[in-house]
Amino acid sequence: MLLCLGLSGCQTLQRVDQSLYQVAEAVSEEDRVTGRRSLSLADRKAQIEAGNAYVEQVIAQEKKAGRGINEQVDKAQYQRLVRVFDRVHRVSHLSQERWQPILIKNEQFNAFTTGGTYIVVFSGLMNSVKDDAELAAVVAHEIAHTVANHAFERRTMSQLTALTGSSSARRSSYQAAFTHENEREADRIGILYCALAGYDPLAASRIWQRKYTEEGNARALFNHDHPVNAERFEEAKTVGDAVKTYYRRDQINPDHAALLENNVLWQKRQGAAAGDGGGLAALLGTALGAYVDHETAKQEEQRQAARSQFVKAVEASLKLEKMTAVEPHLLETRWLYQARQPALQGVVMGIMVKRDDKVLRYVAHVEGLVKPGQVFVARFRLPDDLTVEQLKQLPGKFYLDDALPR
Ligand SMILES: [Zn+2]
């Protein structure tokens, strides 16, 4: 009641509230997944136009280069992609929009979205996934990026900077951390979609487990804009187990629409309607949502920096004692961990070599604990077209891929 005093009655307050709500609508759009508000200035129609324009450029390029798209790349592969894509899209938060997967010829393991109604998948990814469930996991992850508005959130980074008054928001590691959180979010939403569409929700965790086995984490090598493979594997496994209860093999869950709003991962917030205090709540939601994202990204940035610093410090204390070819394609290395650092677990050694202008990386996982003063063995399995003797002739170096203090 006190609130009404300065105004000429509650009627006016309601009107003010209504206009506030419209302002909030203009600067933000309700997060389609959790009901939280994200920062995008663009409305969905403009998003589709902008996002699709980019993909249409890619399509034009592919045609110009004579590679073609979709069936022209591979008819059977494209039909498979469409079949898997349609089932996942049907249970997503944007199933009412007409979407289309695009297949392009590229040997990389990759797929992307630009926030519109296309999902672009590379033929190299189609060849590397082991089954339809793994393909569904990738497609669902990309759909989730668009649903969660990530493509456009990044464009609003400068607004976030203004809002939080933080110049650190411009730093690339911060942006990487911000993206890192987006990746985790897309993983979670995507895994739920898989379960609802009747694809094994643990397929995503299998992809990351395989990546970890083959490529390690490369923790200190790059500025990570994706969560490292081991963490992604563990989280995907936890989420996959949690949503398993919704999974009916090869069948769309009949309750999928209701489950999108309320499930074991999130509950949609029942927002107050406009004119009912919703206007203020909506505006607060925007600022608060940005602030929470900012805090999460800041913490993540610090955590990543501390981890890679630790790995670099440990790496400096490793001494290569011996390397032997136990088999033509099996390189055994012996290392002394000579510093007074803590004991290590999850040690992964890496070797990086340059061959025909390509940088190749191989990793060796070390089982068990490594204590200070201990010698440990790391064995690298090389591919059929590279022997240990050939490897020794190439320019390259060993590195510590990852290690955690125990
Ligand atoms: Zn992603």
139 C-alpha to center of ligand 1: Å? 10
245 C-alpha to center of ligand 1: Å? 25
Whether 108 and 92 have beta carbons less than 8 Å apart is answered as no
387 C-alpha to center of ligand 1: Å? 35
Percent of the chain surpassing pLDDT 90: 55
The pLDDT assigned to 388 comes to 96
The pLDDT assigned to 298 comes to 77
Which position has the higher pLDDT, 95 or 7?
95
Residue ranges and CATH numbers for the domains of the chain are 11-306 (no CATH), 317-405 (2.60.40)
**Rounded Cα gap, residues 119 and 124, in angstroms:** 15
The pLDDT assigned to 15 comes to 44
356 C-alpha to center of ligand 1: Å? 30
The pLDDT assigned to 389 comes to 95
115 C-alpha to center of ligand 1: Å? 12
For range 229-252, the mean pLDDT: 95
CA distances from 382 to 108, 327, 389, 393 (A): 20, 10, 11, 14
Report angle CA 136, 213, 306 to the nearest 5 degrees: 100
**Sheet bearing 375-381, strands edge to edge:** 318-327, 330-337, 375-381
The pLDDT assigned to 223 comes to 58
Which position has the higher pLDDT, 44 or 233?
233
The pLDDT assigned to 83 comes to 98
The number of beta carbons lying within 10 Å of the beta carbon of residue 190 is 27
228 C-alpha to center of ligand 1: Å? 12
- DSSP states of 280-330 as a string? HHHHHHHHHHHHHHHHHHHHHHHHHHHHHHHHHHHHHTEEEEEEEEEETTE
The number of beta carbons lying within 10 Å of the beta carbon of residue 12 is 12
Q: What is the pLDDT of residues 285-335, one digit of tens each?
A: 455 555 666 777 778 778 888 888 899 999 999 999 999 999 999 999 999
pLDDT of residue 232 exceeding 80, the answer is yes
**Rounded Cα gap, residues 49 and 117, in angstroms:** 9
pLDDT of residue 340 exceeding 60, the answer is yes
Which position has the higher pLDDT, 151 or 69?
69
- DSSP states of 33-61 as a string? TTS-EE---S-HHHHHHHHHHHHHHHHHH
pLDDT of residue 2 exceeding 50, the answer is no
43 C-alpha to center of ligand 1: Å? 22
The pLDDT assigned to 23 comes to 43
Q: What confidence category does residue 11 fall into, taking pLDDT thresholds of 50, 70 and 90?
A: very low
398 C-alpha to center of ligand 1: Å? 29
Contacts for 158-162 with beta carbons within 8 Å, 24 or more apart? 159/39, 159/41, 160/39, 160/290, 160/293, 160/294
333 C-alpha to center of ligand 1: Å? 35
pLDDT of residue 39 exceeding 50, the answer is no
**Rounded Cα gap, residues 188 and 109, in angstroms:** 20
Mean pLDDT of the chain: 81
182 C-alpha to center of ligand 1: Å? 7
pLDDT of residue 5 exceeding 50, the answer is no
Residues 6+ apart with CB under 8 A from 28: 37, 38, 39, 40, 282, 285, 286
Residues 6+ apart with CB under 8 A from 90: 197, 252
